[in-house]
Copies of this chain bind each other. A is one copy, B any other.
Amino acid sequence: MRITALAGGVGGARFLNGLLHHLEAHGEVPEVTVIANTGDDITLYGLRVSPDVDTLLYTLGGAVSESQGWGRADDSQRVQGELAAYGAVPQWFTLGDLDLGTHIVRSQWLGQGQSLSEVTGRLAERWGLPGRGVRLLPMTDTPVETHVVISDDDGQRAVHFQEWWVRLRASVPAERFVVAGLDRAAAAPGVLDALRTADVILLPPSNPVVSIGIILGVPGVRDALRGSAAPVVGVSPLIAGAPVRGHADACLAALGLPSTTAAVAGLYADFLDGWLVDPADAGVRLERARVEVHAEPLLMTDVAAASRIAGAALELAARLSGPRSAG
């Protein structure tokens, strides 16, 4: 069963780790293509950082800091201390020493002319992803950066998504998101094929606006989802209106949308087939009647919970493929 998933950082990575555990526990050899958001990418201290890709690498590679959800376990900040002593900016993004190794080799390899896909593939090898049946693809090899238009004492201005998310903790309202480079971006090699040939397409509980939403903006991706014969099943990133993690509510507000699971499903209305919600949202009514809603506790408290949720998503997908292939 070829599974293709779109993914952001922590929520996506935890869900996918659960998916792998679920498949392995059922004796299935995973065949999973992960299309990762690269809109969060940023150049810090001259080094190219891909936060979502890194969180996926570390989580699926068993090296993530469980307490943070991102970054490396048992990391230290000796280098960052030096950067601060030199007065290098910015200082609001913490890079661990072990984590920096990834950014340095990524930057070196990109500087040698390798594409982000190639570099990501090499990084994934070190973390054993191919061995777990996972192909990790950046959504595009074109540098894409999400910027956030805000208004503060300095007037209206655009800041890098990471500055808004990490430094400002999304506390200043986002007026809109501007994704530099997205209109000229081409889907990375394998991305559109993985959507067209999948047996199941999953949308993990990632941020619908600045993670999944950015991937959907890559030319060709949304069309491939609309045209896919595979069932598309999403997992709600909101429980009773609140994001489990992160600031999805602030992101939805920038689009003029309420922080509800129905609003999120509405963003996927043109291609969504199944929608997994928490029992707290079991009564939700979606705009589009043909989307099948299933309730399942969605708090990913540990890998067992993530595995159970992934299993429920696959079950929903199986129910959706059945009638379809019969019809």
Are B105 and A83 interface neighbours, CB within 8 A? yes
Are A98 and B78 interface neighbours, CB within 8 A? yes
Q: Report chain B residues within 8 Å CB of A108.
A: 45-46, 88
Q: Select from chain B the residue with minimum beta-carbon distance to A104.
A: B45
CB distance from A121 to the nearest CB of B (A): 12
Is A2 part of the binding interface, using a Cβ–Cβ cutoff of 8 Å? no
Residue among B97, B105, B126 making CB contact with A97, cutoff 8 Å = B97
Are A86 and B102 interface neighbours, CB within 8 A? yes
Q: Report chain B residues within 8 Å CB of A104.
A: 45-47, 79, 82-83, 88
Are A86 and B101 interface neighbours, CB within 8 A? yes
Is A211 part of the binding interface, using a Cβ–Cβ cutoff of 8 Å? no
**Chain A interface, DSSP helix/strand/loop, else mixed:** helix
Are B126 and A102 interface neighbours, CB within 8 A? no
Are A85 and B45 interface neighbours, CB within 8 A? no
A78 to B81, CA, bound (A): 14
- Interface membership of chain A positions 56-83, coded 1 if the CB is closer than 8 angstroms to chain B and 0 otherwise: 0000000000000000000010111111
Is A107 part of the binding interface, using a Cβ–Cβ cutoff of 8 Å? yes
Q: A46 and B86 in contact (CB under 8 A), knowing A78-B78, A78-B97, A97-B79?
A: no
CB distance from A284 to the nearest CB of B (A): 44
Are B88 and A100 interface neighbours, CB within 8 A? no
Q: Report chain B residues within 8 Å CB of A288.
A: none
CB distance from A122 to the nearest CB of B (A): 7
Are B86 and A123 interface neighbours, CB within 8 A? yes
A108 to B79, CA, bound (A): 14
Residues of chain A at the chain B interface (Cβ within 8 Å):
45-47, 76, 78-83, 85-88, 97-98, 100-102, 104-105, 107-108, 111, 122-123, 126
A-B CB contact pairs (8 Å), 12 listed: A46-B107, A46-B108, A46-B111, A76-B78, A82-B98, A82-B104, A85-B101, A86-B102, A86-B123, A88-B105, A88-B108, A100-B100
